[in-house]
């Protein structure tokens, strides 16, 4: 991919010159994808591009509320490349659970809008603890050890998103203002799974009934699991001395069924992985 950044005074002038660059490159290099550094999430771009660049660094509450950013974005035109996203400053600490929960909520929105969000990347990825110029980062290292921040572990919940099938999901709860969720199906080694991911951004424990409709086969409780990322304090962080203070914990989901009761811990990110025989279904919650 080739990234062009142009800062030219005058909107019309910028548009004309952008078109000339775009057309000239497209003619000579038809396989190159060109990324505009203008945001096209809220209104169409006034110049041609294959993708547009979207950055967001903000506090946790703002990023949590940005989970619907791409819900009303036009389905025509260039797709989004969310090239940098993270919670930073006070809420982030040096990589807090709070920051990772807000980022997880934001990513559920990207996942549900994957028809127009083509790529996303957390930033920055690595930092040397002896030469830290940005905070936070996903992976911290020095000359002989390393650890992943909660934001690193949070992203592992989304590793099946690429190539998965997205399903509609509805939250009906008095706590819905502090919840974010998405549902996908994917295959692994010939087995199919429904993954329901739910962020509880609030300070209260929440009980929910997950109801799934449209299944052509039963859910296999023996092959189903629940994975939870949480901690005793929402500002908890990992460190060299305690690298596993905030990491996902997986357990067997013994009550897995088309309708089941689940409990969401306060300030948590949960993934319910239901083993299926096939992936053609519609999920509702």
- Domain definitions of the chain by residue range: 2-156, 165-284
Token duo for residue 48 = 């041609």
- CA 22 vs. chain centroid, Å, equals 30
Helices (H), 33-73: 60-65
Mean pLDDT over 70-76 rounds to: 94
Superfamily of domain 165-284: Golgi alpha-mannosidase II (2.60.40.1180)
Do 2-156 and 165-284 agree at the fold level? no
Residue pLDDT, tens place only, 202-212:
999 999 999 98
| Residue in the structure block whose two tokens are 């000339």 | 20
* Domain at 2-156: CATH code: 3.20.20.80
Lowest mean pLDDT segment, chosen from 17-31, 38-52, 228-242, 261-275:
17-31
CA distance 33 to 265: 43
Average pLDDT over all residues of the chain: 90
What letters, b where the CB count within 10 A reaches 16 and e where it falls short, cover 214-233? ebeeebeeeebbbbbbbbee
């Amino acid at each position: 991919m080739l990234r062009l950044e142009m800062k030219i005074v005058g909107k019309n002038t910028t548009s004309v010159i952008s078109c000339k660059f775009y057309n000239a490159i497209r003619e000579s290099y038809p396989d190159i994808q060109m990324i505009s550094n203008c945001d096209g999430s809220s209104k169409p771009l006034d110049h041609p591009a294959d993708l547009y660049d979207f950055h967001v660094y903000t506090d946790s509450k703002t990023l949590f509320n940005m989970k619907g950013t791409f819900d009303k974005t036009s389905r025509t035109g260039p797709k989004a490349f969310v090239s940098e996203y993270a919670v930073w400053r006070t809420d982030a600490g040096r990589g807090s659970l709070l920051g990772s929960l807000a980022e997880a909520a934001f990513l559920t929105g990207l996942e549900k809008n994957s028809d127009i969000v083509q790529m996303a990347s957390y930033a920055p990825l690595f930092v040397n603890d002896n030469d830290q110029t940005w905070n936070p980062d996903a992976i911290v290292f020095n000359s002989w050890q390393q650890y992943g921040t909660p934001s690193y572990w949070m992203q592992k919940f989304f590793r099946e998103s690429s190539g998965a099938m997205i399903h509609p999901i509805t939250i009906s709860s008095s706590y819905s203002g502090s919840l974010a969720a998405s549902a996908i199906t994917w295959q692994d080694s010939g087995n199919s799974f429904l993954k329901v991911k739910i962020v509880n951004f609030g300070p209260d424990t929440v009980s929910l009934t997950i109801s799934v409709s449209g299944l052509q086969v039963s859910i296999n409780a023996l092959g189903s699991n629940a994975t939870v990322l949480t901690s005793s304090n929402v500002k908890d962080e990992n460190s060299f001395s305690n690298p596993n203070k905030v990491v996902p914990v997986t357990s067997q989901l013994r009550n897995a069924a088309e309708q089941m009761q689940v409990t969401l811990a306060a300030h948590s990110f949960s993934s319910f992985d239901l083993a299926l025989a096939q992936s053609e279904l519609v999920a509702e919650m």
